[in-house]
Amino acid sequence: MSAKISVIVYILICLEVGVLLAYLPWSPFWYENFFLSFAVTKLHAGWIVPIINSGYVKGAVTALGAVNILAGLRDIFKFRESVSQLSEIDRSRAEAIKFE
């Protein structure tokens, strides 16, 4: 039962992080965030703004989001296989602890 819950949580995290990484670079939050203003004002790193606003960086972050979404979808389609592999790992750990 805990293996199923672990796989479900993993799938949800992959999908949520993927959607956020795909959406955020193209939203207003990308330009108006605390960390960017902190880097510019306190650390005097004005050079970072053009890099962060570059289409290449935005595309790379979006691609990373797509990879996360694909990882979540893969585990949705291979749910039973993932659960059985995770259960097998749990069983082998339990046996190792038992013999110690």
Per-residue pLDDT at 73: 95
Q: Are 36 and 49 in contact (CB under 8 A)?
A: yes
Phi, psi of 54 (to 5 degrees): -70, 145
Given a contact cutoff of 8 angstroms between Cβ atoms, the answer to whether 68 and 14 are in contact is: yes
- pLDDT of 39-81, one tens digit each? 888 888 888 889 998 999 999 999 999 999 999 999 999 998 8
Separation CA 53–CA 14 (nearest Å) = 25
Separation of alpha carbons 70 and 52, rounded Å:
25
The pTM of this model reads 0.78
Say if residue 2's pLDDT is above 90: no
Quick: pLDDT tens for 12-41: 999 999 999 999 999 988 888 888 888 888
**Looking at the predicted structure, is the pLDDT value of residue 86 above 90?**
no
User: Where are the domains positioned within the chain?
Assistant: 2-99
Band the pLDDT of 94: cuts 50, 70, 90.
Answer: confident
The residues, ordered by sequence, that sit 6+ positions from 84 with a Cβ below 8 Å of its Cβ are 3
